[in-house]
Amino acid sequence: MSARRGLAAAAAVALLALPLLASPFALALALTSLLYVCLAVSWSLFSGPTRYLSLATSAFYGLGAYTTAVALGTLPWPLVILSGALVAALLAWLIGLLTLRLRGAYFAVLTFGLAEVVRHAVTYVEKSVSGTVGRVLTETPEVATIYWTVAALAGAALLAFRLVQRSDLGVALRGVGEDEERAATLGVDPRRVKTVAFCLSAAFAGAAGAAMAPRSTYIDPSSVFNPFILFQTVLIAMVGGPTRLHGPVIAALVFSLLAEALRLNLPYLYLIALGLLLILSVLFLPSGLAGVSWLNRWFEPQPREVRPDGARR
Is residue 247 one of the residues assigned to a domain? Answer: no
Radius of gyration from C-alpha coordinates of the chain:
20
Res. 219: pLDDT tops 70: yes
- pLDDT, tens only, 53-101: 899 999 999 999 999 998 988 899 999 999 999 999 999 999 999 899 8
Is residue 215 one of the residues assigned to a domain? Answer: yes
Is residue 246 one of the residues assigned to a domain? Answer: no
Is residue 256 one of the residues assigned to a domain? Answer: no
Is residue 73 one of the residues assigned to a domain? Answer: yes
The answer to whether 239 touches 285, Cβ cutoff 8 Å, is yes
As a whole number of angstroms, the distance between CA 313 and CA 7 comes to 25
Is residue 190 one of the residues assigned to a domain? Answer: yes
As a whole number of angstroms, the distance between CA 28 and CA 9 comes to 22
As a whole number of angstroms, the distance between CA 29 and CA 261 comes to 11
- pLDDT, tens only, 191-207: 999 999 999 999 999 99
Between 281 and 105, the more confident residue is 105
Residue 218 parent element (H or E) = strand 218-219
Q: How many CA atoms lie within 13 A of 301 on its CB side?
A: 9
Band (290; pLDDT cuts 50, 70, 90) = low
Burial classification of residue 274, based on how many CB atoms lie within 10 Å of its CB (0-12 exposed, 13-18 middle, 19 or more buried) = buried
Is residue 234 one of the residues assigned to a domain? Answer: no
Q: Write out the residue range of the structural domain in which residue 66 sits.
A: 2-225
The answer to whether 300 touches 244, Cβ cutoff 8 Å, is yes
Band (273; pLDDT cuts 50, 70, 90) = confident
Burial classification of residue 303, based on how many CB atoms lie within 10 Å of its CB (0-12 exposed, 13-18 middle, 19 or more buried) = exposed
Task: Name residue 229's amino acid.
Answer: I
As a whole number of angstroms, the distance between CA 41 and CA 205 comes to 10
Between 17 and 184, the more confident residue is 184
Between 237 and 138, the more confident residue is 237
* Dihedral Cα 81, 86, 88, 93, nearest 10 deg: 170
CA distances from 207 to 61, 98, 150 (A): 7, 23, 9
The answer to whether 45 touches 70, Cβ cutoff 8 Å, is no
- Domain total of the chain: 1
User: What pLDDT score does 310 carry?
Assistant: 46
Mean pLDDT of 246-264: 80
Average pLDDT value over all residues in the chain:
83
Is residue 165 one of the residues assigned to a domain? Answer: yes
